């Protein structure tokens, strides 16, 4: 079961209007988002190409919220400093594409940022067992990374439960996030499994009223008994 941590909603700008990105980020901020999730894809680690440090820097003045930067790139180490300098508050690196991920997390922390470790659907939870002392966030991909708008993989729920047990045993305050296919129907399932941060793209930016969309997500997640 989820712990008593508050529900955190992190709209993903991958689903925002690219022609009005600053306005979209400001609108999600006003609508009550907790974090803003920025997917960085390199066309190599994942089959898509999105943003770089200049986009993070350009968006930074449009929101006071933490920028949750998800590096779906291989390798990530050469760009950690650039994303930190551009305005990232949290930086996630994947265990699958970064063989020295322990060092990557050390570097992120040394840059004064929160360190996140992300895992793909086929990666077992044990892959992060020796990283818990450095991780501030564990990001569970609940779709295969690379594209927005995919359907949530319920096969990831047992993984989330195992990770919650691991985090509880570690006695560390680690956020467990889910990224992919998150909507009001998915929220109670993932929250019950132990997630407390939810990346959502089309369920926020694909809706007419961002504030109402975020409120519905939060209500769905918070309705799970702790």
Half-sphere CA count of 88, side-chain side, radius 13 A: 32
The full set of domain ranges for the chain reads: 8-222
Q: Residue 60: what pLDDT?
A: 98
Q: Model pTM?
A: 0.94
Beta bridge partners of 177: 139, 197
Q: What residue has token string 């939810």? A: 198
Superfamily (CATH) of domain 8-222: Aldolase class I (3.20.20.70)
Model pLDDT for residues 14-54, shown as the tens digit of each residue:
999 999 999 999 999 999 999 999 999 999 999 999 999 99
Q: Which residues are catalytic?
A: 39, 179
- Taking the C-alpha atoms of residue 63 and residue 80, their distance in angstroms, rounded to an integer, is 21
Binding residue ranges for a divalent metal cation: 37, 39, 70, 179
Binding residue ranges: 12, 37, 39, 70, 146-149, 179-181, 201-202
Half-sphere CA count of 124, side-chain side, radius 13 A: 4
């Amino acid at each position: 079961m989820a712990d008593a941590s508050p529900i955190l909603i992190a709209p993903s700008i991958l689903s925002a209007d690219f022609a009005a990105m600053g306005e979209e980020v400001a609108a999600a901020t006003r609508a009550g988002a907790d974090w803003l999730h920025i997917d960085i894809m390199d066309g190599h680690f994942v089959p898509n190409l999105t943003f770089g440090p200049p986009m993070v820097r350009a968006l930074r003045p449009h929101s006071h919220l933490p920028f949750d930067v998800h590096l779906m790139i291989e390798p990530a180490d050469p760009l950690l400093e650039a994303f930190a300098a551009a305005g990232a508050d949290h930086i996630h690196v994947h265990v699958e594409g970064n063989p020295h991920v322990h060092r990557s997390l050390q570097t992120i922390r040394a840059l004064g940022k929160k360190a996140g470790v992300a895992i793909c659907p086929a990666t077992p939870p044990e892959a992060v067992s020796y990283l818990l002392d450095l991780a501030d966030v564990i990001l569970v991909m609940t779709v295969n990374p690379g594209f927005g708008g995919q359907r949530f993989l319920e096969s990831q729920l047992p993984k989330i439960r195992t990770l919650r047990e691991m985090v509880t045993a570690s006695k560390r305050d680690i956020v467990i996030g889910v990224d992919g296919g998150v909507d009001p129907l998915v929220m109670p399932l993932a929250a019950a499994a132990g997630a407390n941060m939810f990346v959502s793209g089309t369920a926020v930016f694909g809706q007419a009223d961002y504030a109402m969309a975020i409120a519905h997500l939060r209500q769905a997640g918070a309705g799970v008994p702790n």
